[in-house]
Structure 1
Amino acid sequence: MTDIPAQIEAYLASHPEPKQADLRRLHAHMVAEYPDCRLWFNDGRNESGKVVANPNIGYGVYPISYADGSSREFYRIGLSANTSGISVYVLGLDDKSFLMRTYGASIGKATITGYCIKFRRLSAIDTEVLQSAIRHRMHVDGAG
């Protein structure tokens, strides 16, 4: 069995300051607010070991259903460093305009897509608005 907390710690420690401090603050908040949620770590590699995405930490669980009838579990909230800052993924929303419409005007200096809130530093955004977006997704039909 994989030691997910150790993988998460190694991932957090791999980033330079001040990005590391921001990532640690967000991770600590998630673990404190959702102590029973499932933790994930995705190293960004596909089945054949090729890097296809930035590594990320996941929180919570929800089922994804595919057109072919298959399904799998995935996380609700993802946290990832990127070249210019940090991305928080709010996954599984049916309405792809929800994040921008609900939080775009009040979050501060962030780029918002259908499922991602990206910002350079925590100090550039209103962290209460970010936490509201996270809470919305974690509380929809249970966080798991």
Structure 2
Amino acid sequence: MDIRKEIIGYLESLPQQKRKEIETLDNYIRELLPDCELWFLDGKDSDGKTVSNPSIGYGTQTLRYQKGKSKKFYQIGISANARGISIYIMGLKDRTYLSKKYSQDLPKASITGYCIKFKTLMDIDIVALKRALVDGINCF
């Protein structure tokens, strides 16, 4: 199936408010990465078992693992979850960077090494979130 159609199907499956917020984030990211490769991960493993929430990805990077393996993956990802929205900023070398730089600007968000989670866009400073996205894009 065409990735754009998969993304549209995913968006249509979301509750209306969450769909609007994911679409808003999608627009922000597409403005930052207008010609990027799109990804859609349905959250299922090779056996069809659900192992994560579906996610939309933007851009391409090569993830390198300790034992020498590597794989292509997205730079930025967004996903709806039961409690809100997760934004994944992949490829940052310093796993403490996001939390050190954005914890004060995004106090209602939970920030880990590569993920910013929040309940709703109304809870966060969108300008700070856009800066974090730009940081993730510029790390390549």
TM-score where L is the length of structure 1 = 0.93
Instruction: Report the Cα distance in structure 1 between the residues aligned to 2:22 and 2:114, rounded to whole angstroms.
Output: 19
Aligned to 2:92, the other structure's residue is in SS state coil
2:137: which partner in 1?
Answer: 138
- Alignment deviations for residues 84-124 of structure 1 (CA, whole Å, 9 cap, x no partner): 10000111112111001001101241111111100010010
Unmatched segments (≥5 aa) in structure 1: none
TM-score where L is the length of structure 2 = 0.95
2:17: which partner in 1?
Answer: 18
- Alignment deviations for residues 21-77 of structure 1 (CA, whole Å, 9 cap, x no partner): 101100112112211111100000111111111000001111111223221100111
Aligned length: 140
**Residue identity opposite 1:83 in structure 2:** A
Aligned to 1:46, the other structure's residue is in SS state coil
1:112: which partner in 2?
Answer: 111
Percent of residue pairs bearing the same amino acid type: 43
Query: Structure 1 stretch 79-88 or stretch 91-100: which is displaced more?
Result: 91-100
2:8: which partner in 1?
Answer: 9
2:127: which partner in 1?
Answer: 128
Shift in Å, 1:17: 2.2
2:34: which partner in 1?
Answer: 35
Instruction: Report the Cα distance in structure 1 between the residues aligned to 2:59 and 2:73, rounded to whole angstroms.
Output: 8
Unmatched segments (≥5 aa) in structure 2: none
RMSD between aligned alpha carbons?
Answer: 1.0
Contact (CA 8 Å) 1:56, 1:78: kept in 2 or not? yes
**Residue identity opposite 1:78 in structure 2:** G
Aligned to 1:35, the other structure's residue is in SS state coil
